[in-house]
Amino acid sequence: MNLKQVLERMMKENSSDLHLKAGMPPVFRIDGSLRPLNEPPLSPEELRQVALQLMPKDQQEVFANEKELDFAIGVAGLGRFRVNVYMQRSSVALALRSIPVSIKKVDELLLPPVIKELSLRHRGLLLVTGTTGSGKSTTLAAMMEHINESDSRNIITVEDPIEFLFRDKKSIISQREVGTDTKSFGAALKHVLRQDPDVILIGEIRDKTTLNTALQAADTGHMVFSTLHTLNAAETINRIISFFPPHQHEHVRIQLASTLVGVISLRLLPKADGKGRVPATEIMINTATVKEYLLDPLKTLLIPQLIEEGTSQYGMQSFDQSILRHYKDGVITYETALMHVTNVDDFKLRLRGVENTGETRGWDQFGGGKK
């Protein structure tokens, strides 16, 4: 197999991911769907040779010991790719994700404008959440680039691996890769506060140590960005608290109430014209009322209602409000909307303009009930 030719075709067909597995032809993921190529099945030896070509000797040694490895590569004339090499049924397999060379702006990604305002905050913790492939890295990159073009700050990133490459504009951006520039997230974050950062980007919060450091950095006057594999704001709060033993939960809630800027959760939906996908976005902003609800375990359950009601005043929005707007704008189909909303029956009522008493606030601007 000629990997460069496959990658060229991947870019031509606007595929986000490439999967290479023994016994199968190369498989593209295009707009969320898997599409095998009309090519001969790959052999274990072919894949082993491909993996060896991609990894220098030190990475080959790590892979031999760990049986899996993350890294990024650049291909001249094509761009950058995030690579995961792993073992399955005693043979090598690879998953490659395309990383755009140019960083799209918040508006180009059809993200809510309030995200630009949130990215320019000077202190606190801002989390971008969603499943794998939901656009978390792309959204974070757009936010970093907005800071880079708008303000003079020292930005330190800790990533595994480095995906988007930034050029210094108004800001200084130092990108550190785990395994190459630092031994681990923990090691990098232990020293990051001595590097005079204004903004710290942590590629992903994976454990209690990383979360603790992120909260402490946010509490000491830094702006911290990171990601979590959670579906929405309510689940994100519960996941953060679950990192800690029960006797620390009250303290963690106090930390969150004082440091959290907000949570941006993403889902990618197929466009009505079949050309690409659009993000449905839930945005929770830590207002005074949200702070109060974060401190009380019972009131935390009511945060989704605050999100729906905080649209006009704070710029918050729920997934269903975001999906309704995309549908009313003709960006997605009715079937796609119903497939991805949180509550199908309520969504249908909104479309017909039937709203329950006490639940109407915040929906007018999303077009509910309009023809």
Go through 233-261 and write b for each residue having 16 or more CB atoms within 10 A of its CB, e for each that does not. bbebbebbbeebeeeeeeebbebbbbbbb
Question: For strand 199-202 and strand 154-159, is the pairing parallel, antiparallel, or unpaired?
Answer: parallel
Residue 188 DSSP code: H
Domain range spanning residue 41? 3-99
Tell me how far apart the alpha carbons of residues 188 and 159 are, in angstroms, rounded to a whole number.
10
Side chain identity, residue 269: L
Question: For strand 260-270 and strand 154-159, is the pairing parallel, antiparallel, or unpaired?
Answer: unpaired
Q: Are residues 135 and 163 in the same domain?
A: yes
Tell me how far apart the alpha carbons of residues 167 and 149 are, in angstroms, rounded to a whole number.
10
Helix/strand/coil for 154: strand
Query: Is residue 109 within 8 Å of 145, Cβ to Cβ?
Result: no
Q: Are residues 148 and 187 in the same domain?
A: yes
Query: Is residue 127 within 8 Å of 282, Cβ to Cβ?
Result: no
Q: Are residues 289 and 170 in the same domain?
A: yes
| pLDDT single digits (tens) 189-242 | 989 999 999 999 999 998 998 999 999 999 999 999 999 999 999 999 999 999
CB-facing half-sphere around the CA of 209: CA atoms within 13 A = 7
Q: Are residues 206 and 277 in the same domain?
A: yes
Print pLDDT tens along the chain (371 aa): 899 999 999 999 999 999 999 999 999 999 989 999 999 999 999 999 999 999 999 999 999 999 999 999 999 888 899 999 999 999 999 999 999 888 999 999 999 999 999 999 999 999 999 998 899 999 999 999 999 999 999 999 999 999 999 999 999 999 999 988 999 888 899 899 999 999 999 999 989 989 999 999 999 999 999 999 999 999 999 999 999 999 999 999 999 999 999 999 999 999 999 889 999 999 999 999 999 999 999 999 999 999 999 998 999 999 999 999 999 999 999 999 999 998 899 898 888 875 554 455 666 667 654 43
The two three-digit tokens of residue 179, written as one number: 């395994």
Is 106 part of any domain? no
Is 255 part of any domain? yes
Q: State how many domains the chain has.
A: 2
Tell me how far apart the alpha carbons of residues 117 and 132 are, in angstroms, rounded to a whole number.
25
Q: Which of 41, 68, 99 is the last residue of a domain?
A: 99
Whole-model pTM above 0.85? Answer: yes
Tell me how far apart the alpha carbons of residues 169 and 151 are, in angstroms, rounded to a whole number.
9
CB atoms inside a 10 Å sphere around CB 170: 11
CATH of the domain at 328: 3.40.50.300
Query: Among 195, 149, 156, which Cα is nearest to 171's?
Result: 149
